[in-house]
């Protein structure tokens, strides 16, 4: 989005204008969305040239969105004169510049027959603008069976046109679906992963400013040295986003209403934030070991990368494991007595969280990487032996990297030497057939040749074999 930043002379001096101009120029050159423009006044004739508007003010009531500017594309930033005003303006500009497309609330009665009263209210009543979730289809794993967002929605408000999640009429924009989304495909206004990454970069230029996430119910005034980060709900911030923001400086938040229906999601986010605050993050921008070689760049991998660089005092425990939508890390457990290493789970997995590989020439191993697991459960659903379960993973498991789950020796054709399967696969096959398999076995092609008398050239082949 193209965002204009207006700093009237009555709000601030030339020094602040120069600071914001210098920062916006550097941010755009570094690959941020843009362009951004900084000026002293708003020219209504240029409204079509900009997608968003940030206006600074200091005294009196806050300004309203001028004609031609969408209410959701407007930010009024009150300057405090405490040394953090550039950060306040920059954060507002970044959030607009990296926001997904603006979506309005659906018309009254959408999806049902409308009465004349409904029509009159839709035409003459006040327009309602709310931040609706937006979907980045390329990152969505719904096509592979993921339904984490639907399970996390407290209002069951998601619809599924063409197999993809979309907000329905009951959606109130709380952001629970976005916080739970393991790939970051579902976002609410101003809180996409790209926006949070940009906010962290901006925040690193003023790490002393305490960032406070505030929901619409939090009416506590902005304290000296604080910079407010408006959110639809504290629970809309995913643990990966909290970690990214915390690496750039202090972050505080609270749920001001114990009776709020979103309190459970907020409590989960606050538990993660309290744990992160108890540790010490690596300097902003310092990559974690092995991050460059990460095979999958989803939100789970980002959290694993950040936590790998975190240092916690002895005795500080992470949040309690919770098998609920929105838990950011999952792991696969396998019953080694039932798993045959058929690889059905690895083929069904939409990410590299599961993989089958050789462990030397005579064995196969099933490996899992919690840093790529969505928790979608497709692996468990397709396992023919019922050997897999998907469980919440601790941060220690999340950052540990790939680990072996099951290793099993292979059985080869006695003639051509091709792999027939694992010992466990053949044992299960014999059990279901109700009779033992011939020892040593032959592959299909060699068995056909043997039955037709067309002998191969293998060392164990021939009439006397």
Q: Are residues 302 and 154 in the same domain?
A: yes
Q: Are residues 359 and 211 in the same domain?
A: no
Interval 216-248: pLDDT, tens: 999 898 888 888 998 999 999 999 999 989 988
Q: Are residues 341 and 280 in the same domain?
A: no
- 228 assigned to some structural domain: yes
Contact status, residue 460 vs residue 416, Cβ threshold 8 Å: no
How, if at all, do strands 3-6 and 36-39 pair?
parallel
Can you tell me which residue has the tokens 């992470």? 318
- 14 assigned to some structural domain: yes
Contact status, residue 163 vs residue 143, Cβ threshold 8 Å: yes
- 107 assigned to some structural domain: no
Q: Are residues 340 and 272 in the same domain?
A: no
- 17 assigned to some structural domain: yes
Number of domains in the chain: 4
Backbone angles phi, psi at 252, to 5 degrees: -130, 160
- 122 assigned to some structural domain: no
Q: Are residues 282 and 142 in the same domain?
A: yes
* Listed residue (294, 277, 300) closest to 180, CA to CA: 300
Strand partners, 392: 330
- 322 assigned to some structural domain: no
Contact status, residue 316 vs residue 370, Cβ threshold 8 Å: no
Q: Are residues 18 and 91 in the same domain?
A: yes
Q: Are residues 184 and 270 in the same domain?
A: yes
- 52 assigned to some structural domain: yes
Q: Are residues 144 and 251 in the same domain?
A: yes
Q: Are residues 154 and 5 in the same domain?
A: no
pLDDT per residue, tens digit, the chain (465 aa), is 788 888 887 777 778 888 777 776 666 555 555 567 777 777 777 777 788 889 988 888 888 888 888 887 889 998 888 888 888 888 888 888 877 554 444 444 444 444 545 444 444 444 455 567 888 888 888 887 888 899 889 889 999 988 899 888 888 888 999 999 888 888 887 788 888 888 888 888 777 778 999 999 998 988 888 889 989 999 999 999 999 899 888 899 999 998 888 888 899 899 999 999 998 886 655 444 433 333 344 688 888 888 887 888 888 888 888 777 778 889 999 998 899 999 999 999 888 899 988 877 888 999 999 988 888 888 999 999 999 999 999 888 888 888 999 999 988 888 888 888 888 888 888 888 888 887 778 888 888 888 887 655 444 444 334
Global pTM value: 0.78
* CATH number for the domain that contains residue 355: 3.30.70.3270
Identify the domain boundary among 43, 78, 97. Answer: 97
Helices then strands, each counted (H, E), the chain: 14, 17
Report, in this order, helix, strand and coil percent for the chain, each rounded to 5.
Answer: 35, 15, 50
Q: Are residues 185 and 206 in the same domain?
A: yes
Range of the domain at 378: 330-409
Q: Are residues 376 and 252 in the same domain?
A: no
Contact status, residue 430 vs residue 436, Cβ threshold 8 Å: yes
Q: Are residues 167 and 68 in the same domain?
A: no
* CATH number for the domain that contains residue 93: 3.40.50
- Cα 411 to Cα 419: distance, rounded to the nearest angstrom: 6
- 321 assigned to some structural domain: no
* Listed residue (273, 215, 275) closest to 245, CA to CA: 273
């Amino acid at each position: 989005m193209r965002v204009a930043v207006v700093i009237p002379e009555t709000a601030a001096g030339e020094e602040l204008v120069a600071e914001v101009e210098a920062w916006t120029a550097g941010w755009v050159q570094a690959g941020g969305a843009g362009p951004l423009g900084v000026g002293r006044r708003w020219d209504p004739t240029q409204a079509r040239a900009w997608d968003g508007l940030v206006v600074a003010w200091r005294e009196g009531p806050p300004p309203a969105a001028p004609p031609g500017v969408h209410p959701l594309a407007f930010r009024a930033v009150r300057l405090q004169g405490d040394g953090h005003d550039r950060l306040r303006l920059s954060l507002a500009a970044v959030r607009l510049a990296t926001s997904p497309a603006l979506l309005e609330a659906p018309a009254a009665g959408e999806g049902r027959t409308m009465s004349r009263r409904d029509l009159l209210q839709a035409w003459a009543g006040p327009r309602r603008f709310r931040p609706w979730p937006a979907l980045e289809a390329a990152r969505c794993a719904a096509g592979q069976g993921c339904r984490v967002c639907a399970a996390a929605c407290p209002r069951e408000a998601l619809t599924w046109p063409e197999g993809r999640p979309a907000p329905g009429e009951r959606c109130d924009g709380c952001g629970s679906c976005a916080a739970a989304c393991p790939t970051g495909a579902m976002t609410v206004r101003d809180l996409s992963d790209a926006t949070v990454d940009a906010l962290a970069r901006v925040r690193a230029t003023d790490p002393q400013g305490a960032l406070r996430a505030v929901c619409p119910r939090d009416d506590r005034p902005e304290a000296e040295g604080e910079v407010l980060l408006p959110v639809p709900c504290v629970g809309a911030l995913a643990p990966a986003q909290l970690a990214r923001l915390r690496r750039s400086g202090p972050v505080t938040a609270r749920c001001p209403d114990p009776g709020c229906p979103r309190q459970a999601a907020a409590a989960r986010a606050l538990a993660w934030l309290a744990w992160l605050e108890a540790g010490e993050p690596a300097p902003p921008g310092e990559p974690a070991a092995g991050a460059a070689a990460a095979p999958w760049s989803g939100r789970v991998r980002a959290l694993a990368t950040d936590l790998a660089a975190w240092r916690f005092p002895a005795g500080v425990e992470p949040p309690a494991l919770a098998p609920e939508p929105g838990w950011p890390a999952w792991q696969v457990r396998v019953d080694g007595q039932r798993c045959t290493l058929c690889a059905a789970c690895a083929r069904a997995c939409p990410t590299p969280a599961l993989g089958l590989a050789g462990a030397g020439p005579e064995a196969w191993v099933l490996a899992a990487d919690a840093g790529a697991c969505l928790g979608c459960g497709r692996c468990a659903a397709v396992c023919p032996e019922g050997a897999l379960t998907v469980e919440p993973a601790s941060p220690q498991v999340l950052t540990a990297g790939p680990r072996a789950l099951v290793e099993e020796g292979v059985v080869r054709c006695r003639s051509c030497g091709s792999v027939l399967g694992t010992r466990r696969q053949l044992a299960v096959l014999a059990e279901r057939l109700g009779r033992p398999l011939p020892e040593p076995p032959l592959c299909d092609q060699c068995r056909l040749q043997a039955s037709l008398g067309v002998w191969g050239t293998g060392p164990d082949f021939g009439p006397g074999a």
